[in-house]
Structure 1
Amino acid sequence: MGKEREITVSLEEFGLSQYEARAYVTLITRGTISASEVAYYAELPRTKVYPVLLKLQQKKLAILSKSKPVLCTGIAPEDAFDDIVHEQINKVEAMNNLVSKMKKISEESKKARGAEEKRYFHLSANYVVNQMRTMIEGAKSSIHITADSWGLSILAECKEEILSVLRRDLEVRLIVPVSVIGSESFRVIPEGVTIRSSEIIQNCFIFDDTELLLIDSTNGKGAVFSATDILGASQTRLFAQLWKDALKIDNLSEMTKSQALEVCKIINVINQNGLGFALHSILNSKKFVDFAKFLEKSGISLKEKTLEQVLDIVNSTLEMTCAGKVQYDSKTNNIILESKINSGHSLPWAMLIESYLEQKGNHPKMIYHSDSHKGEMIHLKIN
């Protein structure tokens, strides 16, 4: 009964009335029966059954006998609906042709206006990891990534795929925010991935400069674009600029998260406001620039740290920012700061060590050397 009702509803879409559909289904399921039987089985009012059967006969769906009582026979569906089906097929084809023509007109109109439609693929949150694995495995030359904590956690799930492309000598570059350095996901990233740090506003994965995967941290959903269009090209250029300006953090990878965050915070504070503080101190005739006190105002204290720990912080900073280093010569009691960049880049860090030593009761002497070819060197002589 359920199937018959379903068929009845479907027949109404072919232009039959509800009564006509019921009567026809009854005829093809019951065979040749009288009009009164049609009314009974199809649950039609007796006063309506003859007009309904006559309409079915007009539509070539039934045959009525001329004898009495009137007997009714349903035409087999394959014969009854052959013309109707072909008519519907022709209508669909005509509609498809019409849609194609309208689409062509629309595209030509957009081109005339200088506009062109581009498509991209939406990814559900559950499918993003699988898609990323596929795209990593398919990379041919390079993978460039900017990732926040969410993006990094997804990337960490693709460790085996990353190892695979590294074995093929692909260039894999990753830019992450300071906040994730030393985190569990950060430590999962294989050696061989070159990592730098910068402020990140999106999760963007660029494969071979031809494909682009963006991931929304708020809902985990993603989208795949062709990197050959204007969006992809701009993202590729943006990554190149971010990479150029980002902080090298190779020497932070073995630190704990809190240690790495502290180093990066000190770098940010001094880089952003250190020069202004130093100039203000000099203009106010201070004997030395108290960078230790300056850091305390930003919530960073060096009082409890040993000289070795302070030198480690400065050494990490110089390595990241100017390819420099710090050395302590115990024989001469000298601290030597070197920088490959000849721009006074190491001076704030020498002043930081100087102010730390002043806090500890020492009064070091600072000597600055500069060479246009070799960079700069600062000697701190501890009394």
Structure 2
Amino acid sequence: MKRAYLDNAASTPIRKEVVKVMVNTLKHLSGNPSSVQHSYGREARSILEESRICIAKNIKASPSEIIFTSGGTEANNLILKSSVLDLGVKHILTSKLEHTSVLETILDLSIRYKISVDFISVNEKGSLDFNNMEELLKKNIYKKTLVSLMYANNEIGNLLEIDKVVFLCKKYNAYFHSDTIQFIGNIPIDMETLSFDFATASAHKFYGPKGIGFVFIRKHFLKKMKPFITGGIQEYGIRSGTENTYGIVGLSEALRLLYSDFKNHVKKMKNLKSYCISELKKIIPNIIFNGLSYHSDKSIPSVLNFLYPTKKDHLFYFHLDLMGVAVSKGSSCNRNKISHVIQSITSEYLLNKTMPVRISFGMFNKKKDIDLLVKALQMIKKVK
């Protein structure tokens, strides 16, 4: 049976080149990177630091600003919790469209440490109200504030108007953390020109292995931050524990390969997205796209989110899977629930008459995958 994997925003397939370097590392690297008293450990340390340098070079950061984690969720937790515990943050400003690893961590911090939290208003397309953002910053001007907003929404693809956010953060002396997990791997990022204080990434979003990611932390914060995980001196003392060397090597190689041909990668994603929009409009004349996912300049090229007109059917996605098409209703971290992002920008009336569908393209997709999706949607419509 023909199959089409169109859930790359949840996890991308790992590249064969990445598997190769990881297997080679597993086979031949036996030392602990912290055991620098002998050649086995020094070899492991050398490979780990070479990977850190490679990652930093691609995103135009300093190697010392890269801290390895188990993935994006831990990276977001590290920044949010360290900001409160170590940097004196008393107020967090975010939106209701963030990933659950951000929202649930903020909720936990607000309960445990009495941190005040405000949510920036968003419109029906998921765009931030910057007048409201400034009002909330002004209201809390005497509290040290952390602004936490994702650069590219993982469900509706919206790109953050980063210049406006940075301007307001600087104006009101707020720290800025951006969840860039869905951005890195879809659009090149340059930490030299972007005024992030903190950013996060996860390898399995850009054709690398699961269970490894990193956090970007500006140099001047490193000395102020206490260990997030205690018990060792690894990762500049911030995250103790023996590093996942083969995972780090895989992350580094995946990012290197992507940056070596990013222009063509972005072009391919845009072409697939444009073709998909065109084909969906043919079978759903009054199609409703969620957020700005349909807009080529205001969303990442890999994500398209729309409402499929059908009665609420909890087996809808399962039926598509049986026909060989893998899509999702949103973030995999929401499991079987309708996404909080979609609920925030879509009326209950519409949600009762439609099913949200997130299509996310990857480097291994072709137009025939979209054709299979369209055919499957037509078959479901006929059965209904």
Which structure features the higher share of strand residues?
1
TM-score w.r.t. length of structure 2: 0.22
TM-score w.r.t. length of structure 1: 0.22
Q: Answer 1 or 2: higher relative contact order, Cα 8 Å, separation at least 6.
A: 2
> Who wins on radius of gyration, i.e. which is larger?
1
Which structure features the higher share of helix residues?
1
